[in-house]
Structure formats: structure tokens, C-alpha cells
Amino acid sequence: MTTFIIRRLLQLIPVLLGVTILVFSLMHLTPGNPAVIMAGESAPQATVEAIEQRLGLNDPLHVQYFNFLGNALQLDFGTSIRDNIPVFSHIQPRFLITLELTIYSMIFAIVLGLLAGIVSAVRQYTFSDVAIMVVALFGLSMPNFWLGLMLIQWFSINLGWLSPTGWGDPDQLVLPVIALGTAGAAIIARMTRSSMLDVISQDYIRTARAKGVKERVVIFRHALKNAMIPVVTVIGLQFGYFLAGSVLTESVFAINGLGRLIIDAILQRDFPIVQGAVLVVAVSFVVVNLVVDISYRFLNKRVDLN
């Protein structure tokens, strides 16, 4: 197990290097002189030169990259072009909000998805199974921004129950979490169902029943833990989609999260913020996948064999 974790951590190095190279080249792959783009077409030459100077754009490319990498390791992503405040100070509060939104949505998706999937599998081919799977198909097919708009229409405008914008109060949390979590819940439900169906037909489930174990215990103790093995992988992948999806959800619900920050920064051509924010998102995705891999190993002892 320790060997595995060490190996997995070592594998992170090339992945993270790749990520930094991609993020770094964002600025340089954009056509034209980044300094001109940031300053705006009509900016005086002196401003452009100042930006070039500040970002070190006159240095050779590899020097620029290693500077960027070295600074990034110290969480220094430079300062915002607009207000000269360090990028990290911009990102930190926004990232926490996005993280909250993502985690709440994940919890919503996992709880709802697992429950629906289990019920569906245990009652295969009954009305509840068909109903759950039809709803899941809808949930899967709806874009989260559209679902968000619909939710605002019904629950905020028509019924006036919940707040349509902002983040922090409980009544502000519900709609964005549903909007962001529904697709994930649907995917997890479908995966759980098929995985449970597969596990329920296994010999060891028959063994458990032959021991006199109650059906409820058979499902939740004997079947679920095995069925979770592929589901955990799906949950890990979902986390990435949730981070990405939060950009749109935050726009719809006017939440000041990382997604909003990135969009605003792009519109304002504030490259250091875009770079910093994208890097943070990418790194969190990589870290979550590491956690998923490790928990997968904990669940599935047999992998240790190889």
C-alpha cells in the first residue's frame, strides 16, 4: 500500500509539470503580443512596455517558464493587471466558495445517486426502477445552466421560496447545488444500478443469503461495498466535471466563485489571474483523482495482487 502511494505521488510530478506547461503557454499561444492584448489595442507604447517589463516577457521563453514554475510553487502567481493585488489573494476566497459549491453538490449527487441506484437495482424491472431510470436520463441530458434557469423560474420567481442569487445563506445554497449536482446524481445512479445488478448475481451474495443474512444486510453490507468499487471511479471523474460545471452555475446564480473570477479575468484579459485560477483548478482535479485511486485500493483489496 505504501509503495503504491509513493509510486502514485511520483507519477504526479510529470502530470503537474504538464499542467504548468499548458497553463504557461496559455499566454504565449494567444495570437499577438500578450502585453498589447492585456493593455488593449489603443494603449500607449509606454504602458505596453511596462507590462512587458513586469511580466518578464523579454526574457527567453524557458527562463520565463522556470520563473513562472518557481513562483507558482510558492503560490505566487504574480499580481493582477487591473489592481496590482497579488493573484493569490484574488483566488483564495473565490476558490473556497467554489469548493463549497462543488462539495455540497457532490454530497447531493452521491447520496441521491446511490439511493436511487440501489432502489433501482433491487427492484429491477419494476415501476420504481423504470421511473428512476427515466428521471435519471432527463437529469443526465439537461445542461446545468438551463436547469439552473428553470429552477430560478419555478422556485424563486413563481413560488418565491428560495433566493435566486448569491452564496452563503442556506436558502441561497439549495438551487445552485441542485443545478450542479443533478447530472452527477444521474450518472452515479446509473452506474450504481448496473454495478449493483452485477454484484447481486455473484456467488458470494448467494452464500450470504444461505447463511441466513437478512435481505437488507445482504444489500447494504455484502453487495454495496463491492458495487462501490466502480462507482468510486465515476465519482472521482465527476469531481472534475463539477469544478468545470461550477463556472456556468456560478454565472447563472451570480455566485462570486472561482468560475466567475475566471470569466471576468478572461473578459478583462487579466492573464495572471486566468493562469493562477486554471492552475488551481487543474491541481485540485489531480489531487482528487489521487484520493479516489487510493480509496479504490482500500475498497478493492484484490488490486494489491498485481
Partner 1 sequence: MSENILDIKDLRTSFFIEGNEVKAVDGVTFQVPEGKTLGIVGESGSGKSITALSILQLIERPGKIVGGSINFKGEELTESKNSRMRDIRGNEISMIFQEPMTSLNPVYTIGQQMRESYKIHQGLGKKEGTKRAIEMLELVGIPSPAKRVDQYPYELSGGMRQRVMIAMALACRPELLIADEPTTALDVTIQAQILELIKELQNEIGMSVIMITHDLGVVAETCDYVAVMYCGKVVEYADVETLFENPKHPYTVGLLNSLPRHDIDQDELIPIKGNVPAPDEMPTGCRFAPRCPHASDICSKLPGLETQEDGNDVRCWIYTEEWDGEKGVAVYDRETTT
Q: Which residues are near partner 1 by CB under 8 A?
A: 202-204, 206-214, 222, 225-226, 299-302, 305
At 89, the amino acid letter reads S
Min separation Cβ 293 and partner 1, Å: 17
Q: How far is the CB of 197 from partner 1 (least distance, A)?
A: 12
CA 217 to CA 198: how far, in whole Å?
17
Helices (H), the chain: 2-29, 34-39, 45-55, 61-73, 87-122, 127-141, 144-151, 170-200, 203-210, 215-217, 224-252, 258-267, 271-299
Dihedral (Cα; 26, 32, 37, 40), 10-degree rounding: -170
Nearer to partner 1, 202 or 251 (CB): 202
Nearer Cβ to partner 1 (92/128): 128
CB of 296 to partner 1, least distance (A): 12
Rounded (10°) angle between helices 170-200 and 87-122? 40
**101 vs 208, which CB is nearer to partner 1?**
208
Give me the least distance between CB of 302 and partner 1, in Å please: 5
Q: Cα(224)–Cα(227) distance, rounded to whole angstroms?
A: 5
The C-alpha atoms of residue 129 and residue 122 are separated, in whole angstroms, by 8
Least distance from C-beta 303 to partner 1, angstroms? 10
Nearer to partner 1, 162 or 200 (CB): 200
For partner 1, which is the closer residue by CB, 62 or 301? 301
